[in-house]
Amino acid sequence: MIRLSNISMNYQGKQILENINLEIAAGETMVIIGPSGSGKSTLLRLIVGLIKPTGGEIWIDGQATAGLSEDELNRIRLRMGMVFQYSALFDSMSVGDNVAFGLRQHTTMTEAEIARVVNRKLRMVGLFGKENVMPNELSGGMKKRVSLARAIAANPQIVLYDEPTAGLDPIMSGKIDRLITSTKRIMGVTSVVVTHHMSSAFNIADRIAMIYGGQIIAIGTVEEIKGSDNPIVQQFIHGEKKPGLIARRRLKAGC
C-alpha cells in the first residue's frame, strides 16, 4: 500500500503540491490526471523516492520513508519499478542489457539467471527474441515495452508509469494499456499511472485522481469521475481548453 499524508512540494519557493492525501491499495491501479505542469510527474518522483517532499510523509507498505537510511531506502526502491516518460533507455546498450541493468546492479543473480529473466520479461511485453536489438532500431511503442520489461525485471510490487502512451498511435496505446492491465493481473502489482489520455485512463484505472492547483480535486472510480459534478473535471475529461477560466465562468453563471 502507498500512503501520502499531507504531502507538499515546492520548487524554488513555487508551491507545486499542497497537502496531498492519497491512499493507493495493494493491487490497485491509480491513474493520475491533470493539466500540464500540475505536478503529476512530481508526485511519481516523490513516491519512488527520487525527490523528497518539502512537507508531509510517504508510507510504502506501512513504512514511513522519511528518516530511513540510504540502504533502507534502496531496499524500498527495489520493490518499485518505473516506466519513465520517453522510455529513458540506455541508447548504447542492447535491449537485453537494458532489461538486465537493474538486476546486474542490485542483485547477486548469475548471468544465466539474468538471461532467463530477460527472456521471460521480453516475452511478457511481446518482444521475445529482441535481446540483441539496439534501442535506436525500435519504434516508440517498442521502446515503451522494453522500458516496462526493465521496470518489472526484479518483480517489483509497485510499478509507476509516467505517460506510458505519450506519442503513440491509438493501436499501440491500446496495446500498452493491455500490458499495464496484464502486468497487474499476472504480477499482482500496485500501479500508479500518469496519463494525458483519457481513453487510457478509463481503460485501465481502478480509480482516478485529478490534480489541479496543487491539490487532488476529485478522486473515484471511472464511473464516479465520468459522473463528477465538478465542472473542472468535466472540462478536463472532455478535452475543453482553459478549464479554469471556463469553469469559473460557468460556476458564476450558475450552469
Ligand X SMILES: Nc1ncnc2c1ncn2[C@@H]1O[C@H](COP(=O)(O)OP(=O)(O)OP(=O)(O)O)[C@@H](O)[C@H]1O
> What is the x/- site pattern for ligand X, positions 12-51, by CB under 6 A?
x---x-----------------x-xxxxxxx---------
- CA dist 179 to 82, 122, 183, 187, Å? 14, 12, 6, 11
d(CA 245, CA 81): 37
In angstroms, what is the minimal distance from the CB of 44 to ligand X? 8
Q: Which of 81, 31, 22, 33 is nearest to 57 (CA)?
A: 22
Number of residues that bind ligand X (CB under 6 A): 11
Q: Which stretch binds ligand X (CB under 6 A): 9-17, 107-115, 213-221, 237-245?
A: 9-17
Measured from the CB atom, the residue of 25 and 51 that comes closer to ligand X is 51
> How many whole angstroms separate alpha carbon 11 and alpha carbon 114?
39
Q: Are strands 215-220 and 207-212 parallel, antiparallel or unpaired?
A: antiparallel
CB of 166 to ligand X, least distance (A): 9
Minimum distance of ligand X from residue 240's CB (angstroms): 17
**Least distance (Å) from ligand X to the CB of residue 35?**
7
Q: Helix 111-124 crosses helix 140-151 at what angle (to 10 degrees)?
A: 130
Query: At its nearest, how many Å lie between ligand X and the CB of residue 26?
Result: 25
Rounded-to-integer distance, Cα 236 and Cα 55, Å: 28
**Residue 41 or 230: which CB sits closer to ligand X?**
41
- Considering the rule CB under 6 A, would residue 93 count as an interface residue with ligand X? no
* Contacts to ligand X by CB under 6 A: 11-12, 16, 34, 36-42
